[in-house]
Structure 1
């Protein structure tokens, strides 16, 4: 079986998006949203201001050229390739994933919503954009929407799942913090390493899925212990095959999520796409569906994307964080200040992008 990592054209075949001033961009996006009933599709770009790196830079290339994601069949492999028992074993896929994710998850857990998350939450609170679909697994859209007591988190569809939950192969679920504690107890040496990196601030480079690059440490993944599932042990089963509730490369999105994503687009009057190259087909097909139905579609993204090949899609080549608050204020008018929830949302959010993220990284995370 051969499964390739999705890519996008580095050079669009379309003419470049017209240059816009910030004010012009604000007015254009606001006018697009203003009729209401907008579905919003977001990607990794919206979380950059929260300190979570995007996969790709402004030219569409992977920020880490040596990035090699784990595939679903590798993670679930029950042979020694999946979980090595010998020091010289070749792969240890599951140990590789969980060691790197163990070290990377604290950064994801500590991340806070930025102005884009809160501005989009304000549009949801005001019922202008009742449906939001995200490819991100960091949970930050949910955290921003928590400021709205009357808006249900069910209005956010996590297309690729969430890092905040884990389940074993037999379906026993656990929250991620508890699972982190299990990993710490089973790997005291790595707990000490994680504590030291937290103390010194010398943390490995973290990808949007919580994976970190630790090749420079020269470690063997085979020494990492993935704990047994306690619920399986109570059922007299030995099982250490655990998976975060995210969609891996080579894994299909569940049918209910797929159907809901199409329904969200079909029930909206227009589609706003923000901060994504649309490299994964699960997201790109939603834009294609909107175009097929004749719905207006606007893509706000810095750099090339897979959507560049669709002539019907309007593009603005700009980071959402530069304009989104002003866009929402323009859309909501007096509500932006009169509604205390909206006012709080539009004054909330951190802006702390990753340091030195403009140059591709080496395998060890260095520049």
Structure 2
């Protein structure tokens, strides 16, 4: 089986971006005008979480722009042969070490500004490709119920915060982390030493970390068995995070829901995504087919470049979005205390630049 990592076509990487460059004031004005009528469906990607310290998949420092990087595919992770077991050892060791950085990441100013637009009803539907849960954390500041949050946010590719065994038993990720720690005391000590030294490993949006430069082997890492399966008198240590791996399809429910979110909107906004994965790109295609106005805010090339009907602003959302929210909500009747709190919340702490040694890593 041959499965490739979705990426931006080379023709688009060299696409002339100068026409999309805008000043901050122009971007604020154009985005405000686009959002003002309301009923917008928003699609976000990893670029939205960069200011929370989580690297994007693609772009200058994106791990998937490194031709040597080989992520684990779905068929490899669930393979029940010895080879599959080795893939799971590799995945879960790296994820065990990397997950705390994602778990402890805080929503940034863009997350909170977008949550303010959700709270105000300008963006009733948000589709995210991110698996970090930061949109949920930001929206929770306005105190909606967990059910309301789930209705407002569709996780196109799932979440890193749950684990599912091959028989469908779901475990909260923090509990699974404890299982991994108990089964691997040596690696728990290693993880504790990293935290104590304050020198975290390079973490990617899916919780994966780079450790090959440390000369580490995965051979002794123990992937625990599912306790529920053991209660059902069967052995099973095939687990995966409750997210979509490369080579795996999104569920029919998520696909239909995402299409409905596009159909029920009057316009579509895209922020921080290259649309390299087809599950996201086809939503843009669906919006264009339905003649919905589309605005994209993203730094650098994307799969939408050159697509007729797409306005593109090449600018970081964090540079403009708080001012955009103020503009739009003042026009719609004012800003209440909840929105003020959201607009005064959030960090802006992008990850450090990648060093050349890490860029050269093959895994």
TM-score by length of 2: 0.94
Judging changes above 3 Å, is the alpha-carbon distance between structure 1 residues 336 and 2 closer, same or farther for their aligned structure 2 residues?
farther
After TM superposition, where is structure 1 displaced by more than 6 Å over at least 4 residues in a row?
334-337
1:215 Cα deviation (Å)?
Answer: 0.6
1:48 Cα deviation (Å)?
Answer: 0.3
1:312 Cα deviation (Å)?
Answer: 1.2
Q: Within 2, Cα distance between the matches of 1:209 and 1:15?
A: 30
Listed as ranges, the matches of 1:162-311 within 5 Å are 162-311=159-308
- Please list the CA deviations of residues 155-200 of structure 1 after superposition, one character each: whole Å capped at 9, or x if unmatched: 1000000000001111111100000000000000000000000111
Equivalent position to 2:101, from 99, 107, 118: 107
Gaps of 5+ in 1: 84-91
TM-score by length of 1: 0.93
| Residue 34 (structure 2) aligns with | 32
- Please list the CA deviations of residues 72-91 of structure 1 after superposition, one character each: whole Å capped at 9, or x if unmatched: 000000000011xxxxxxxx
Judging changes above 3 Å, is the alpha-carbon distance between structure 1 residues 336 and 186 closer, same or farther for their aligned structure 2 residues?
farther
The yes-or-no answer on 1:119 pairing with 2:113 is yes
| Residue 71 (structure 1) aligns with | 73
- Please list the CA deviations of residues 218-241 of structure 1 after superposition, one character each: whole Å capped at 9, or x if unmatched: 222121000011111111111101
1:340 Cα deviation (Å)?
Answer: 1.2
1:68 Cα deviation (Å)?
Answer: 1.4
| Residue 89 (structure 1) aligns with | none
Aligned positions, number: 357
Q: Within 1, Cα distance between the matches of 2:7 and 2:66?
A: 14
Q: Within 2, Cα distance between the matches of 1:69 and 1:116?
A: 28
Judging changes above 3 Å, is the alpha-carbon distance between structure 1 residues 43 and 360 closer, same or farther for their aligned structure 2 residues?
farther
- Secondary structure, aligned partner of 1:49: helix
CA contact (8 A) 1:228 1:239 kept: yes
Judging changes above 3 Å, is the alpha-carbon distance between structure 1 residues 80 and 358 closer, same or farther for their aligned structure 2 residues?
closer
Q: Within 2, Cα distance between the matches of 1:338 and 1:320?
A: 20
The yes-or-no answer on 1:341 pairing with 2:335 is no
CA contact (8 A) 1:59 1:303 kept: no
1:309 Cα deviation (Å)?
Answer: 3.2
1:67 Cα deviation (Å)?
Answer: 2.2
CA contact (8 A) 2:61 2:353 kept: no
Gaps of 5+ in 2: none
When you count helix as a share of all residues, which structure comes out higher?
A: 2
Structural RMSD (CA): 1.9
